[in-house]
């Protein structure tokens, strides 16, 4: 079932469910600051999240024929302590569920994952949003202090 391709009717229905879920999150979740849509031809949403450890970050949700992909930019590639920095993130990957730290464009660090299309429901969307928020909050500052240690040496 995970390999089944969603047809246009299923994709349209899921798009409406995600729109409704995000509209509710925008109204009721104090950490969701804004929701925007991608290009009309895309099934993509940009969710601006207010954090504490990292002030603001954006989560991208992309609905595909087989999966819902989600990711957030965490930080640029480290200035220093590369081995320690990447070891830190790899060890943190063992504590994440349904997503992992990875290297993306311009060697930047992202937290990304995907869910099979037919497993997407409001509970899973809540879990994804909450997990991304929690993992960024937990792991951003320690990674920053390792990969950009010189900037923190006077603090």
pLDDT at site 3: 66
- Whose CA is closest to 77, among 95, 104, 99? 104
How does strand 56-63 pair with strand 67-75?
A: antiparallel
Confirm whether 56 is domain-assigned.
Answer: yes
CA distance 145 to 151: 8
What pLDDT score was predicted for residue 17?
A: 97
Show the domain range for 77.
8-147
Q: Which residue stretches of the chain have pLDDT < 50?
A: 1
Q: Looking at the domain assignment, is residue 140 inside a domain?
A: yes
What pLDDT is stored for residue 16 in this prediction?
Answer: 96
Query: What is the pLDDT, as a whole number, of residue 101?
Result: 98
The predicted pLDDT at position 140 comes to 96
Whether 74 is in a domain gets the answer: yes
Q: Is residue 153 part of a domain?
A: no
DSSP per-residue codes, 108-140: -EEEEEEEEGGG--HHHHHHHHHHHHHHHHHHH
Distances (CA, A) of 26 to 23, 29, 47, 50, 86: 5, 6, 9, 12, 34
Is residue 59, in this structure, part of any structural domain at all?
yes
pLDDT at 40: 83
Question: Rounded to 10 degrees, what is the CA torsion of 68, 21, 108, 131?
Answer: -90
Q: Is there a domain that residue 155 lies in?
A: no
The CATH number that applies at residue 69 is: 3.30.1460.10
* CA pair distance 125, 128, nearest whole angstrom: 5
Is 143 among the domain residues?
yes
Are 50 and 56 contacting, i.e. CB atoms less than 8 angstroms apart? yes
In a domain, 46, yes or no: yes
Number of domains in the chain: 1
| pTM more than 0.85 | yes
């Amino acid at each position: 079932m995970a390999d089944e391709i969603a047809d246009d009717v299923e994709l349209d229905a899921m798009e409406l469910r995600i729109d409704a879920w995000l509209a509710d999150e925008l109204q009721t979740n104090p950490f969701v600051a804004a929701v925007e849509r991608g290009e009309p031809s895309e099934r993509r949403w940009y969710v601006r999240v207010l954090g504490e450890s990292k002030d603001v970050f954006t989560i991208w949700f992309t609905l595909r024929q087989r999966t819902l992909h989600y990711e957030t930019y965490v930080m640029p590639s480290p200035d220093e302590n590369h081995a320690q920095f990447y070891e830190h993130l790899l060890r943190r990957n063992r504590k994440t569920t349904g997503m992992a730290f990875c290297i993306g464009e311009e060697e930047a660090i992202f937290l990304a994952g995907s869910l099979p299309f037919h497993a997407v429901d409001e509970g899973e969307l809540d879990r994804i949003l909450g997990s991304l928020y929690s993992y960024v909050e937990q792991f951003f500052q320690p990674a920053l202090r390792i990969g950009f240690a010189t900037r923190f040496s006077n603090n």
